[in-house]
Chain A
Amino acid sequence: MEILQYGFMQRALLASLMVGLAAPAVGIFLVQRRLSLLGDGLGHVALVGVGVGVLTSTAPVGAALVAAVAGAVLIELVRARGRTSGDVALAVLFYGGIAGGVVLLSLAPAGQATNLDAYLFGAITTTSAGDLVAFGVITVVILSVVWLLGQRLYAVSDDEEYARAVGLPVLALNVVLAALVASTVVLSMRVVGLLLISALMILPSAVAQLLAGSFRQALLLACGIGLVVSLAGTTASYYTGTPSGGTIVLLAIALFLLVALGVAVREATGRRRHRRKVGLHAAHPHEHGEGCGHRPVPHGDHVDYDHDGHLHAPHRTGTGVHYDEHGEHPVPAPVEGKAGRP
């Protein structure tokens, strides 16, 4: 493969591999708690760190990481206070971040100002070997924390009030999640850019949530989708000469629309089939009940009736009895190794 002959493309693909894997693993918790835009805000804050890093000629990645994590912790503390002014405080923090970053970068020695674009929209081909090492460390840290604390992060994202009531360390877990988001922001900086980071955290999770049946499944699926989209986008950008960040995000959006459309079509045809059967049932001479001649099949909290090869689940609506179609429901499976882990 021609694309793999260049050192800069090898580094680019490695970076996008790490980002594709790590961003959705963190993003799914943001989707779950409906805080999809937190990543976007932290991207703004990280720009101050970049500015400081460039201005002091030290590693911008390290400085951005410090700024973003500090910003994330600050945001969680503001949110925890739960005052109405919190919303305004977040806005101040976010826009202060991007304004500070722009001003700091403009103060940098001549020629540096053009770098702003690279940080805002990504410049994957400028990834250095040193960056890769830093990204590798960040990726390992993110994935291990998600593996270790995943179920607790899920608990807090799913029902914060319950988590607090039973004594889980809610504030600490929120700070951990915010720090994870901040780390992901910095990790994705080179590949998709600070302004598009949220997309790579959210979109794969959004696709996965349409398809998965469990949180664990959704998490793995989101990581898989992130990986594929990220690698495919980077490869495509090499051949088309388009920026990697925008290409990856457009690919992810295309996938999301495709899957959403597929799910909608499946549901629509399902409903039509259901309506046809309901028509059949409307011609029913009797209501199912004891001794109606159809085999009763207990199903959860109600009884289905075996009827012409399918199961009828009667329930009352405003207009009379209505029948849901219930398939053979799965035989209860014994509890095995992965119990309860998201």
Chain B
Amino acid sequence: MTGRDLAEQHRTEPDLDLAVGLRGASIGYGDVPVVQDVDLTVHPGEALAVLGSNGSGKTTLARGLLGLASVLGGEVTVLGAPVGRLRERGRVGYVPQRHTVSGAVPATVREVVGVGRLARRGLLGRPTAADRAAVADAIDAVGLGDRTRDPVASLSGGQQRRVLVARALAAEPELLVMDEPTAGVDAANQETLARVLAEVSARGTTLLVVTHEAGPLAGVLTRAVVVDHGRIRYDGPLAGAGPLAGDAGHHHPEDPDDHPGTGYRQHQPWTSSRPVRARDGEQ
């Protein structure tokens, strides 16, 4: 069965209940598509890894769902509405690929996480007791309850990443999109993150995690999509996604400063026919 046939099959499905629905979607910047003619269906409550090497288009795919990259063709729906519609405000959480939280002006953990709640509060809404509770809960969830009033800049890199996760959780999102949440994070922080995501997923939140190695989150993510040269090469169980999925071999837990340099690229080239076979095998 070709990709086109698969796409036709998807087109007959209703997508109002979908967390994410892409039909023949092209996503890119300006007029240049990075992701082309992609079909993807994610149901509510799924925990999906979007895998791929650098430059494969996996981040662009995620940014298309968030309205940060343009949909140049086809159809992209998020939580049942086309991307960018007001309907989905506050229902989507986003953890950007940022190593640190570094504004010019100092801010406390609570102030940064509080931003996550804004979209839920309407144009002029003041914070209610429920908003404050959601912010406090989100900070507790990532294990930073005792650092609420500390300036974010005084936290370690891994802790700052957890602050960004808490910011996304404060919105109590139905769909949580994360871009490389484990890159450059030490083992202890990765474990905390995996535990938090497991809890979030258990509550029914849809997870979509863009990553170059799903290893640290293998216990949470169940399904994987492999993006290569702007197209989806594999869609199935995480375990079947090949070395990309489970490979944490280059990580050195005894070195907390382990930084994702250029080294991991060597693990990534994905030009063999294996992923295609993997998809065929699934039919």
Contacts and interface: CB of A to CB of B under 8 A. Distances in A.
Interface stretch (A184-192, A268-276, A331-339): A331-339
Nearest to B170: A340
Residue among B89, B114, B136, B188 facing the most chain A CB atoms (10 A cut-off) = B114
Interface in B117-163: 117-119, 123-124, 127, 131-133, 135-136, 143-151, 155-156, 158-159
Contact of A166 (B93, B103, B106): B93
A130 interface: no
Contact of B67 (A164, A218, A315, A317): A164
Contacts of B117: 340
Interface string A289-319: 0000000000011100000000000011100
B6 interface: no
Contacts of B135: 335, 339-340
B115 interface: yes
B94 A340 contact: no
A167 B115 contact: no
B32 interface: no
A333 B177 CA distance: 31
B127 A339 contact: yes
Contacts, number: 151
A316 B89 contact: no
B216 interface: no
B104 A301 contact: no
Interface stretch (A46-54, A101-109, A154-162, A240-248): A154-162
Given A166-B171, A316-B254, A212 B115 contact: no
A217 B167 CA distance: 20
B36 to A, nearest CB: 22
Interface string B66-97: 11100000000000000000101110111010
B156 A332 contact: no
A256 interface: no
B119 A214 contact: no
B110 interface: yes
Nearest to B91: A167
A153 to B, nearest CB: 11
A209 B114 contact: no
A340 B114 contact: yes
Interface in A159-180: 159, 161-169
Contacts of A213: 106, 108, 149-151
Contact of A162 (B115, B124, B148): B115
Nearest to A158: B103
Interface residues of A, number: 49
Contacts of B86: 167
A34 interface: yes
Nearest to B144: A300
Contacts of A317: 257
B111 A214 contact: yes
Given A161-B68, A166-B89, A31 B105 contact: yes
A216 B111 CA distance: 8
A158 B105 CA distance: 9
B68 A214 contact: no
A237 interface: no
A310 B253 CA distance: 28
Contacts of B145: 332
Interface string B156-192: 1011000000010001000001000000000011001
B111 A301 contact: no
B107 A214 contact: yes
Interface string A190-222: 000000000000000100110011111110000
A330 interface: yes
Contact of B66 (A165, A208, A339): A165
Contacts of A205: 105
18 contacts: A32-B103, A151-B114, A154-B115, A155-B115, A165-B67, A165-B96, A166-B118, A167-B88, A208-B105, A213-B106, A218-B106, A300-B144, A300-B156, A316-B257, A329-B146, A330-B149, A339-B135, A340-B127
Given A152-B118, A165-B67, A218-B106, 6 more contacts: A168-B118, A209-B105, A316-B256, A330-B150, A340-B115, A341-B111
3 closest pairs, A vs B, by CB? A340-B114, A167-B89, A339-B132
